[in-house]
Structure 1
């Protein structure tokens, strides 16, 4: 069995980059959308899925319009909810609290925020319901890292080693089954 290709595209730059935007739906900038369209110009896929947040779904809609493909919007591909920190710059948050979060986002989530395990659970569920065909998912850095945790069992130290700037594309080959199996095919910043 050959599996299927899963392309995970981080949304392009929002109008206010560098903030912790989980549930905050920061508007995408036109150059960020254009960068996403360009990033996947040579990548074949048969389906497009996007987070329901505008910074991801706007790029997905632009890609879908160019390819005459419908976009399935799925809120399970949202970014981690940063709770009280949502919409803030990391520099505006207590360094110790931020450090505890980065070291263990499940044990030390942001105040009123989402635990890492909740994010990985919803991304795992979203992965289970994908069609077994080559698919592009336009999503967020946290959801991409959650997919890596689910598919490969990477721990936090490994996940933060991946540089996923705005518009980054991570391509995987995925095989269904228990346990799931996947292979990293490429990462393009």
Structure 2
């Protein structure tokens, strides 16, 4: 089977950056949406998919209009659910709780939230539906989960990759039950 091109774009900055937004639906900053549009113009894709959260779906809708392309929303591309930590500034949370989470997100997920493995399973299932060159406008956690699934990275390796707002990661993607990928470019 031939490889496909997969572009993973992180949404632009939300109106209030620095919070644990997870499934919280905070609108994007308008200037950040324009940066997503500008970066998408250099990408070749046949399918445009996004998370349903406004910080990803709003710029994706504008890209779809700009490119005269269909836009599909897939909730599996949402960020990690931070449960009781949703919308919080990490600096205001108990340091021991967040340190345990960051060191072992499967053993210590956010209270009432999602584990790292749950996010990886959700994103892995979404990757199985990719069948053509695709741009996915999503969140940093979901991109890292995709790297875990496609490249075999462990949690620490995936989180060592810097993904600033509006970053684009381009991969050659071999679809199937055990997909593999090769990173071919990173735009920040």
TM-based fold match above 0.5:
yes
Partner Cα separation in structure 2 for residue 58 and residue 109 of structure 1: 29
Q: Unpaired segments of 5 or more residues in structure 1? A: none
1:47 aligned residue: 47
Contact map agreement 1:48 1:137 (CA 8 A) in 2: yes
Q: Deviations over 1:144-183 (max 9, x none)?
A: 0000111112112101110001101000001123421210
2:110 aligned residue: 110
Work out whether 1:164 is the aligned partner of 2:163. Answer: yes
Contact map agreement 1:103 1:156 (CA 8 A) in 2: no
Q: Deviations over 1:78-117 (max 9, x none)?
A: 0000001110111011111111111111111001011111
> Per the alignment, in what secondary structure is the counterpart of residue 156 of structure 2?
helix
Counterparts of residues 113-124 of structure 1 (less than 5 Å): 113-124=113-124
Q: Deviations over 1:132-153 (max 9, x none)?
A: 2110000000000000111112
Structure-2-length-normalised TM-score: 0.97
Structure-1-length-normalised TM-score: 0.97
Partner Cα separation in structure 1 for residue 172 and residue 33 of structure 2: 25
2:61 aligned residue: 61
> Per the alignment, in what secondary structure is the counterpart of residue 88 of structure 1?
coil
Contact map agreement 2:128 2:176 (CA 8 A) in 1: no
1:187 aligned residue: 186
Q: Unpaired segments of 5 or more residues in structure 2? A: none
Alignment size in residue pairs: 188
Counterparts of residues 86-165 of structure 1 (less than 5 Å): 86-130=86-130, 132-165=131-164
CA positional deviation for 1:2: 3.0
> Per the alignment, in what secondary structure is the counterpart of residue 112 of structure 1?
coil
Work out whether 1:31 is the aligned partner of 2:15. Answer: no
2:9 aligned residue: 9
CA positional deviation for 1:23: 1.0
> Per the alignment, in what secondary structure is the counterpart of residue 142 of structure 1?
helix
Contact map agreement 2:6 2:173 (CA 8 A) in 1: yes
Change (3 A) 1:114 1:28: same
